[in-house]
Structure 1
Amino acid sequence: MSDPFYMNNLCNLDTPKGRAHLYINTYNVERAFRDNYTRYEYSFIEFYAEHLCDLSRAFKGDMQMVLLLATVAQVALRADMIVENSGGRVQELPPSRRGITTYRLADVTGIPRETTRRKLTAMEKMGWLTRENNFWCLAYEGDDAKIHQDLADVIDRSFRRAARFYVAVTPLVNS
Protein backbone atom coordinates (compact mmCIF):
# COMPACT_ATOMS: atom_id res chain seq x y z
CA MET A 1 0.00 0.00 0.00
CA SER A 2 2.74 2.48 -0.80
CA ASP A 3 0.61 4.29 -3.38
CA PRO A 4 0.37 7.86 -1.97
CA PHE A 5 -2.93 8.45 -3.80
CA TYR A 6 -4.38 5.40 -2.11
CA MET A 7 -3.12 6.38 1.33
CA ASN A 8 -4.32 9.99 1.01
CA ASN A 9 -7.74 9.01 -0.30
CA LEU A 10 -8.43 5.86 1.67
CA CYS A 11 -11.16 7.59 3.67
CA ASN A 12 -12.09 10.01 0.90
CA LEU A 13 -15.31 8.61 -0.49
CA ASP A 14 -15.33 11.39 -3.08
CA THR A 15 -12.69 9.56 -5.12
CA PRO A 16 -13.27 6.49 -7.30
CA LYS A 17 -10.53 4.58 -5.47
CA GLY A 18 -11.99 5.48 -2.08
CA ARG A 19 -15.46 4.33 -3.11
CA ALA A 20 -14.09 1.09 -4.62
CA HIS A 21 -12.12 0.32 -1.44
CA LEU A 22 -15.21 0.91 0.68
CA TYR A 23 -17.38 -1.27 -1.57
CA ILE A 24 -14.95 -4.18 -1.64
CA ASN A 25 -14.52 -4.12 2.12
CA THR A 26 -18.16 -3.61 3.01
CA TYR A 27 -19.28 -6.34 0.63
CA ASN A 28 -16.88 -8.91 2.10
CA VAL A 29 -17.60 -7.92 5.68
CA GLU A 30 -21.36 -7.93 5.15
CA ARG A 31 -21.17 -11.38 3.59
CA ALA A 32 -19.15 -12.68 6.55
CA PHE A 33 -21.69 -11.23 8.98
CA ARG A 34 -24.57 -12.84 7.09
CA ASP A 35 -22.74 -16.18 7.04
CA ASN A 36 -22.28 -15.96 10.83
CA TYR A 37 -25.58 -14.27 11.62
CA THR A 38 -26.19 -15.54 15.16
CA ARG A 39 -22.72 -14.65 16.45
CA TYR A 40 -22.75 -11.30 14.65
CA GLU A 41 -26.26 -10.40 15.83
CA TYR A 42 -25.50 -11.30 19.45
CA SER A 43 -22.36 -9.13 19.43
CA PHE A 44 -24.11 -6.26 17.67
CA ILE A 45 -27.13 -6.24 19.97
CA GLU A 46 -24.86 -6.40 23.01
CA PHE A 47 -22.90 -3.40 21.71
CA TYR A 48 -25.93 -1.44 20.53
CA ALA A 49 -28.17 -2.02 23.55
CA GLU A 50 -25.40 -1.20 26.03
CA HIS A 51 -24.57 1.97 24.12
CA LEU A 52 -28.20 3.08 23.91
CA CYS A 53 -28.70 2.42 27.64
CA ASP A 54 -25.56 4.42 28.44
CA LEU A 55 -26.73 7.32 26.28
CA SER A 56 -30.23 7.16 27.71
CA ARG A 57 -28.82 7.51 31.23
CA ALA A 58 -26.50 10.36 30.20
CA PHE A 59 -29.32 12.24 28.44
CA LYS A 60 -31.98 11.44 31.07
CA GLY A 61 -34.02 9.44 28.56
CA ASP A 62 -34.10 12.12 25.84
CA MET A 63 -33.10 9.98 22.87
CA GLN A 64 -34.23 12.65 20.40
CA MET A 65 -31.53 14.91 21.81
CA VAL A 66 -29.03 12.07 21.37
CA LEU A 67 -30.07 11.63 17.74
CA LEU A 68 -29.85 15.35 16.97
CA LEU A 69 -26.47 15.73 18.65
CA ALA A 70 -25.13 12.63 16.91
CA THR A 71 -26.19 14.03 13.53
CA VAL A 72 -24.57 17.42 14.19
CA ALA A 73 -21.44 15.62 15.43
CA GLN A 74 -21.32 13.42 12.32
CA VAL A 75 -21.25 16.51 10.10
CA ALA A 76 -18.51 18.03 12.27
CA LEU A 77 -16.45 14.84 12.29
CA ARG A 78 -16.65 14.58 8.51
CA ALA A 79 -15.39 18.17 8.27
CA ASP A 80 -12.65 17.38 10.79
CA MET A 81 -11.44 14.45 8.67
CA ILE A 82 -11.27 16.75 5.64
CA VAL A 83 -9.08 19.36 7.38
CA GLU A 84 -7.05 16.77 9.29
CA ASN A 85 -4.66 16.14 6.38
CA SER A 86 -4.11 19.84 5.75
CA GLY A 87 -3.18 20.64 9.34
CA GLY A 88 -6.14 23.03 9.63
CA ARG A 89 -8.79 23.28 12.30
CA VAL A 90 -12.42 22.39 11.76
CA GLN A 91 -13.46 25.67 13.42
CA GLU A 92 -11.81 27.56 10.54
CA LEU A 93 -14.21 26.06 7.99
CA PRO A 94 -17.34 28.04 7.15
CA PRO A 95 -20.43 26.95 9.12
CA SER A 96 -21.97 25.49 5.96
CA ARG A 97 -19.13 22.92 5.84
CA ARG A 98 -19.14 21.94 9.53
CA GLY A 99 -22.77 22.46 10.53
CA ILE A 100 -26.32 21.61 9.58
CA THR A 101 -29.58 23.57 9.49
CA THR A 102 -32.61 22.95 11.70
CA TYR A 103 -34.68 22.09 8.65
CA ARG A 104 -32.17 19.50 7.43
CA LEU A 105 -31.84 17.98 10.91
CA ALA A 106 -35.61 17.63 11.18
CA ASP A 107 -35.75 16.08 7.72
CA VAL A 108 -32.91 13.61 8.32
CA THR A 109 -34.00 12.52 11.80
CA GLY A 110 -37.77 12.58 11.32
CA ILE A 111 -38.11 14.72 14.46
CA PRO A 112 -40.68 17.53 14.05
CA ARG A 113 -39.08 20.87 13.22
CA GLU A 114 -40.33 22.69 16.31
CA THR A 115 -39.12 19.89 18.59
CA THR A 116 -35.79 19.94 16.76
CA ARG A 117 -35.49 23.70 17.23
CA ARG A 118 -36.29 23.48 20.97
CA LYS A 119 -33.77 20.71 21.60
CA LEU A 120 -31.03 22.46 19.60
CA THR A 121 -31.65 25.65 21.57
CA ALA A 122 -31.40 23.66 24.82
CA MET A 123 -28.06 22.19 23.70
CA GLU A 124 -26.87 25.68 22.80
CA LYS A 125 -27.69 26.80 26.36
CA MET A 126 -25.74 23.79 27.67
CA GLY A 127 -22.73 25.02 25.68
CA TRP A 128 -22.65 22.02 23.35
CA LEU A 129 -23.75 23.75 20.13
CA THR A 130 -23.45 27.14 18.51
CA ARG A 131 -25.66 28.64 15.85
CA GLU A 132 -23.77 30.31 13.04
CA ASN A 133 -25.57 31.71 9.99
CA ASN A 134 -28.51 29.29 10.44
CA PHE A 135 -26.15 26.32 10.82
CA TRP A 136 -25.86 24.35 14.04
CA CYS A 137 -22.24 23.49 14.83
CA LEU A 138 -20.43 21.82 17.71
CA ALA A 139 -19.16 24.31 20.29
CA TYR A 140 -15.42 24.16 20.93
CA GLU A 141 -13.17 25.04 23.84
CA GLY A 142 -9.76 25.24 22.25
CA ASP A 143 -9.41 22.28 19.90
CA ASP A 144 -11.87 20.07 21.77
CA ALA A 145 -15.63 19.99 21.36
CA LYS A 146 -17.32 20.93 24.64
CA ILE A 147 -19.50 17.84 24.43
CA HIS A 148 -16.36 15.66 24.52
CA GLN A 149 -15.43 17.14 27.88
CA ASP A 150 -18.93 16.86 29.32
CA LEU A 151 -19.48 13.29 28.13
CA ALA A 152 -15.91 12.02 28.62
CA ASP A 153 -17.06 9.04 30.72
CA VAL A 154 -19.63 7.98 28.13
CA ILE A 155 -17.03 8.33 25.37
CA ASP A 156 -14.50 6.25 27.34
CA ARG A 157 -17.08 3.51 27.83
CA SER A 158 -17.95 3.65 24.12
CA PHE A 159 -14.29 2.99 23.22
CA ARG A 160 -14.24 -0.09 25.45
CA ARG A 161 -17.60 -1.23 24.10
CA ALA A 162 -16.53 -0.73 20.46
CA ALA A 163 -13.27 -2.59 21.14
CA ARG A 164 -15.21 -5.55 22.56
CA PHE A 165 -17.48 -5.54 19.50
CA TYR A 166 -14.47 -5.39 17.16
CA VAL A 167 -12.76 -8.29 18.93
CA ALA A 168 -15.99 -10.31 18.79
CA VAL A 169 -16.67 -9.84 15.06
CA THR A 170 -13.15 -9.76 13.60
CA PRO A 171 -12.83 -13.57 13.67
CA LEU A 172 -16.09 -13.80 11.70
CA VAL A 173 -14.57 -11.74 8.89
CA ASN A 174 -11.13 -13.35 8.98
CA SER A 175 -12.39 -16.95 8.96
Structure 2
Amino acid sequence: MGETPQTDLPEEEEAFIRAYGEGFALYHHAWSVFFVSHMGDLRRHFGDLDEALLLAAFGLGPVADKRRAAGRNRDALALGGRAVSEGVTNAKRLADVTGIPRETVRRKLERFRARGWVEQDTDGTWRLSLDADGKARVAEALGPLHGAFLRRLARLVVEFARLEQP
Protein backbone atom coordinates (compact mmCIF):
# COMPACT_ATOMS: atom_id res chain seq x y z
CA MET A 1 0.00 0.00 0.00
CA GLY A 2 2.72 2.53 0.86
CA GLU A 3 5.37 0.94 -1.36
CA THR A 4 6.75 2.70 -4.39
CA PRO A 5 6.98 0.52 -7.50
CA GLN A 6 10.51 -0.65 -8.25
CA THR A 7 11.88 0.66 -11.51
CA ASP A 8 13.72 -2.58 -12.27
CA LEU A 9 10.49 -4.53 -12.63
CA PRO A 10 9.06 -5.47 -16.01
CA GLU A 11 6.55 -2.93 -17.33
CA GLU A 12 3.59 -5.29 -16.84
CA GLU A 13 4.45 -5.77 -13.17
CA GLU A 14 4.87 -2.04 -12.59
CA ALA A 15 1.51 -1.42 -14.29
CA PHE A 16 -0.16 -3.99 -12.04
CA ILE A 17 1.37 -2.45 -8.91
CA ARG A 18 0.10 0.98 -9.96
CA ALA A 19 -3.39 -0.38 -10.69
CA TYR A 20 -3.45 -2.25 -7.37
CA GLY A 21 -2.46 0.93 -5.54
CA GLU A 22 -5.08 3.01 -7.33
CA GLY A 23 -7.85 0.48 -6.72
CA PHE A 24 -6.46 -0.86 -3.47
CA ALA A 25 -9.74 -1.66 -1.72
CA LEU A 26 -11.10 -3.60 -4.71
CA TYR A 27 -7.91 -5.53 -5.50
CA HIS A 28 -7.05 -6.19 -1.89
CA HIS A 29 -10.54 -7.42 -1.08
CA ALA A 30 -10.43 -9.87 -4.00
CA TRP A 31 -6.96 -11.06 -2.94
CA SER A 32 -7.96 -11.35 0.72
CA VAL A 33 -11.06 -13.43 -0.08
CA PHE A 34 -8.85 -15.77 -2.13
CA PHE A 35 -6.07 -15.95 0.45
CA VAL A 36 -8.19 -16.39 3.57
CA SER A 37 -10.43 -18.98 1.90
CA HIS A 38 -7.48 -20.97 0.57
CA MET A 39 -5.56 -20.83 3.84
CA GLY A 40 -8.70 -21.94 5.67
CA ASP A 41 -9.05 -24.91 3.32
CA LEU A 42 -5.41 -25.84 3.88
CA ARG A 43 -5.72 -25.60 7.64
CA ARG A 44 -8.89 -27.69 7.66
CA HIS A 45 -7.28 -30.30 5.42
CA PHE A 46 -3.88 -30.53 7.10
CA GLY A 47 -4.60 -29.17 10.55
CA ASP A 48 -1.10 -27.73 10.20
CA LEU A 49 -0.18 -24.94 7.82
CA ASP A 50 3.51 -25.91 8.00
CA GLU A 51 2.69 -29.14 6.16
CA ALA A 52 0.91 -27.21 3.41
CA LEU A 53 3.82 -24.76 3.12
CA LEU A 54 6.35 -27.57 3.05
CA LEU A 55 4.48 -29.43 0.31
CA ALA A 56 4.19 -26.24 -1.74
CA ALA A 57 7.93 -25.61 -1.41
CA PHE A 58 8.68 -29.26 -2.18
CA GLY A 59 6.70 -29.02 -5.40
CA LEU A 60 8.56 -25.95 -6.68
CA GLY A 61 11.42 -28.01 -8.13
CA PRO A 62 9.35 -30.44 -10.19
CA VAL A 63 7.13 -27.61 -11.44
CA ALA A 64 10.18 -25.52 -12.39
CA ASP A 65 11.52 -28.54 -14.29
CA LYS A 66 8.25 -28.78 -16.23
CA ARG A 67 8.42 -25.05 -17.03
CA ARG A 68 11.93 -25.47 -18.41
CA ALA A 69 10.87 -28.50 -20.44
CA ALA A 70 8.04 -26.40 -21.91
CA GLY A 71 10.54 -23.67 -22.88
CA ARG A 72 9.28 -21.26 -20.20
CA ASN A 73 12.47 -21.08 -18.12
CA ARG A 74 13.34 -17.53 -19.14
CA ASP A 75 10.36 -16.17 -17.26
CA ALA A 76 10.26 -18.70 -14.43
CA LEU A 77 9.90 -17.11 -11.04
CA ALA A 78 12.77 -17.36 -8.62
CA LEU A 79 12.39 -17.89 -4.91
CA GLY A 80 14.60 -15.86 -2.64
CA GLY A 81 16.52 -14.58 -5.64
CA ARG A 82 17.45 -18.10 -6.73
CA ALA A 83 15.94 -20.12 -9.51
CA VAL A 84 14.28 -23.27 -8.27
CA SER A 85 15.49 -26.40 -9.97
CA GLU A 86 15.31 -30.14 -9.96
CA GLY A 87 12.76 -32.47 -8.49
CA VAL A 88 15.02 -33.39 -5.56
CA THR A 89 15.76 -31.43 -2.45
CA ASN A 90 16.94 -31.82 1.11
CA ALA A 91 15.70 -30.81 4.56
CA LYS A 92 18.13 -27.88 4.80
CA ARG A 93 16.96 -26.36 1.52
CA LEU A 94 13.30 -26.79 2.50
CA ALA A 95 14.00 -25.22 5.89
CA ASP A 96 15.77 -22.28 4.23
CA VAL A 97 12.94 -21.71 1.74
CA THR A 98 10.07 -22.03 4.22
CA GLY A 99 11.54 -20.75 7.47
CA ILE A 100 10.42 -23.99 9.15
CA PRO A 101 13.12 -25.37 11.51
CA ARG A 102 15.13 -28.18 9.91
CA GLU A 103 14.16 -30.76 12.54
CA THR A 104 10.49 -29.95 12.00
CA VAL A 105 11.02 -30.32 8.25
CA ARG A 106 12.61 -33.74 8.81
CA ARG A 107 9.69 -34.91 10.99
CA LYS A 108 7.16 -33.74 8.41
CA LEU A 109 9.11 -35.41 5.58
CA GLU A 110 8.91 -38.66 7.53
CA ARG A 111 5.13 -38.18 7.87
CA PHE A 112 4.91 -37.56 4.11
CA ARG A 113 6.99 -40.70 3.50
CA ALA A 114 4.60 -42.73 5.69
CA ARG A 115 1.72 -41.47 3.50
CA GLY A 116 3.62 -42.51 0.37
CA TRP A 117 4.00 -38.93 -0.88
CA VAL A 118 7.81 -38.64 -0.82
CA GLU A 119 10.83 -40.91 -0.85
CA GLN A 120 14.40 -40.44 0.25
CA ASP A 121 17.38 -41.34 -1.90
CA THR A 122 20.53 -42.96 -0.53
CA ASP A 123 22.31 -39.59 -0.66
CA GLY A 124 19.75 -38.11 1.75
CA THR A 125 17.84 -36.07 -0.83
CA TRP A 126 14.08 -36.26 -1.10
CA ARG A 127 11.80 -36.46 -4.10
CA LEU A 128 8.08 -36.79 -4.70
CA SER A 129 6.89 -40.39 -5.00
CA LEU A 130 5.44 -41.13 -8.41
CA ASP A 131 2.89 -43.69 -9.47
CA ALA A 132 3.32 -45.99 -12.50
CA ASP A 133 2.09 -43.19 -14.80
CA GLY A 134 4.67 -40.71 -13.47
CA LYS A 135 2.11 -38.69 -11.52
CA ALA A 136 2.96 -37.50 -8.00
CA ARG A 137 1.10 -39.65 -5.47
CA VAL A 138 0.38 -36.61 -3.33
CA ALA A 139 -1.60 -35.13 -6.24
CA GLU A 140 -4.29 -37.79 -5.91
CA ALA A 141 -4.53 -37.29 -2.17
CA LEU A 142 -4.94 -33.54 -2.60
CA GLY A 143 -7.21 -33.67 -5.68
CA PRO A 144 -10.37 -32.22 -4.09
CA LEU A 145 -8.38 -29.49 -2.34
CA HIS A 146 -6.64 -28.66 -5.62
CA GLY A 147 -9.97 -28.44 -7.45
CA ALA A 148 -11.29 -25.92 -4.90
CA PHE A 149 -8.04 -23.96 -5.21
CA LEU A 150 -8.30 -23.81 -9.01
CA ARG A 151 -11.90 -22.57 -8.93
CA ARG A 152 -10.98 -19.91 -6.37
CA LEU A 153 -7.86 -18.89 -8.33
CA ALA A 154 -9.89 -18.62 -11.53
CA ARG A 155 -12.32 -16.25 -9.75
CA LEU A 156 -9.37 -14.14 -8.54
CA VAL A 157 -7.75 -13.94 -11.98
CA VAL A 158 -11.07 -13.04 -13.62
CA GLU A 159 -11.79 -10.41 -10.96
CA PHE A 160 -8.33 -8.88 -11.39
CA ALA A 161 -8.89 -8.78 -15.16
CA ARG A 162 -12.24 -7.04 -14.63
CA LEU A 163 -10.60 -4.47 -12.36
CA GLU A 164 -8.07 -3.69 -15.09
CA GLN A 165 -10.84 -2.82 -17.54
CA PRO A 166 -11.64 0.89 -17.88
Scaled by the length of structure 2, the TM-score of the pair is 0.80
Do the aligned residues in 1 keep the contact of 2:64 with 2:86 (CA within 8 Å)?
Answer: no
* Structure 2 unaligned blocks of 5 or more: 1-7, 72-84
**Structure with the bigger percentage of helix:** 1
* Structure 1 unaligned blocks of 5 or more: 1-19, 86-95
**1:138 pairs with 2:125:** no
Counterpart-to-counterpart distance in 2, 1:81 and 1:159: 19
Counterpart-to-counterpart distance in 1, 2:110 and 2:48: 14
**Mapping for residues 1-20 of structure 1, pairs under 5 Å:** none
Give the drift of 1:171.
2.0
**1:150 pairs with 2:119:** no
After TM superposition, the structure 1 stretch with the greater mean CA deviation from structure 2, 26-35 or 130-139, is 130-139
Equivalent position to 1:121, from 71, 94, 110: 110
Give the drift of 1:136.
2.0
Q: Between Structure 1 and Structure 2, how many residues are aligned?
A: 144
Give the drift of 1:54.
0.7
Equivalent position to 1:28, from 3, 15, 27: 15
Counterpart-to-counterpart distance in 2, 1:24 and 1:140: 39
Give the drift of 1:158.
0.7
SS of equivalent to 2:116 = coil
Do the aligned residues in 2 keep the contact of 1:100 with 1:136 (CA within 8 Å)?
Answer: yes
Name the residue aligned to 1:11.
none
**1:46 pairs with 2:37:** no
Identity value in percent: 31
Counterpart-to-counterpart distance in 1, 2:98 and 2:30: 26
Counterpart-to-counterpart distance in 2, 1:161 and 1:135: 34
Q: Tell me which stretches of 4 or more aligned residues in structure 1 moved more than 3 Å.
A: none
After superposition, the CA RMSD in angstroms is: 1.7
Name the residue aligned to 2:101.
112
Counterpart-to-counterpart distance in 1, 2:88 and 2:165: 38
**1:163 pairs with 2:165:** no
Name the residue aligned to 1:93.
none
